[in-house]
Amino acid sequence: MTLSVKSDIFPAMIKRQTTINRIFKVSGIGLHSGKEVTLEFLPRREFGIAFVHDGHLIPARYDMVGDTRLSTQISRDGVSVSTIEHLMAALYFSGITNCLVYIDGPEVPILDGSAWEFYQGMWKAGVYEFPETGVYLKVLRPVEVHHNDSWVKVKPLNTLEITMSIEFRQPVGKQKKRVTDVENAFAIINSRTFVLQEEIEAIRKVGLARGGSLDNAVVIGNDEIMNPRGLRYKKELVNHKILDLIGDFYTSGYRILARVDANKTGHYLNNLLLKELFSDPRNYSIY
């Protein structure tokens, strides 16, 4: 397949299937495994995003999601790839619908804790557009899922609009953000993952966050942000929750058009919403 750059920047609205214009690599440490891993991105003619690990092709799809503890993990035939959500969000913002990602470890690297470095790599690689359509999923009926006081709801809308609410102890407190132009919300791409300082030890006891540091996560102390340079944005934490939701929703295989309202959501509920959405074909249309 011969590819050529179609645009110097990513289009705000993707009308057709796309892939990266050339191969590129990204390396870094896994947040939870603490191991060095390299990703190699290859153009793909077939529709969809898929990972290749240990010789197994694993579609980055909601029905391949297993473990959702502190990240989104996909698996197939006993082989898994975890922490895919930031990369999936970068692919969404880049407008990439088709791509093969070869990975030599069990976890996507955390890099700086946001989706920015992945996005930069895709921007440099460029975009190639195919004639095929079928990249959008339009929500036709309200769908919602709940767990205690957490919930995610989607309603029909001709674009994607997200309202996210979170609540943690101080110094975070309650945060709420509404994004009406998601396609161009670049502050979302650059917002980092975060953790409460008192939770770190417990997380590490169950074998997670072995690669976490102030270089790749915002750490919330008793009365201040522990990172020397503080936050990148006033609402960086709620921004990152929106980033996670976008990445998780992109495992639908499509660019979702809907009004999304979410409260204290996480990877589990994001995935559950997709399962509920796809449980009835009357809930959506593809075009």
Contact 166, 175 (CB under 8 A): yes
Which amino acid belongs to residue 152? Answer: V
State whether the Cα torsion 7-190-40-253 is positive or negative.
negative
Catalytic pick from 53, 86, 240, 267? 267
How many degrees, rounded to 5, is the angle at CA 283 between CA 280 and CA 286?
A: 105
Which amino acid belongs to residue 201? Answer: E
For residue 267, indicate whether it is catalytic: yes
Which amino acid belongs to residue 83? Answer: T
Which amino acid belongs to residue 6? Answer: K
Q: For residues 94 and 182, what is the distance between their CA atoms, to the nearest angstrom?
A: 12
Q: For residues 223 and 12, what is the distance between their CA atoms, to the nearest angstrom?
A: 39
Residues assigned a catalytic role? 267
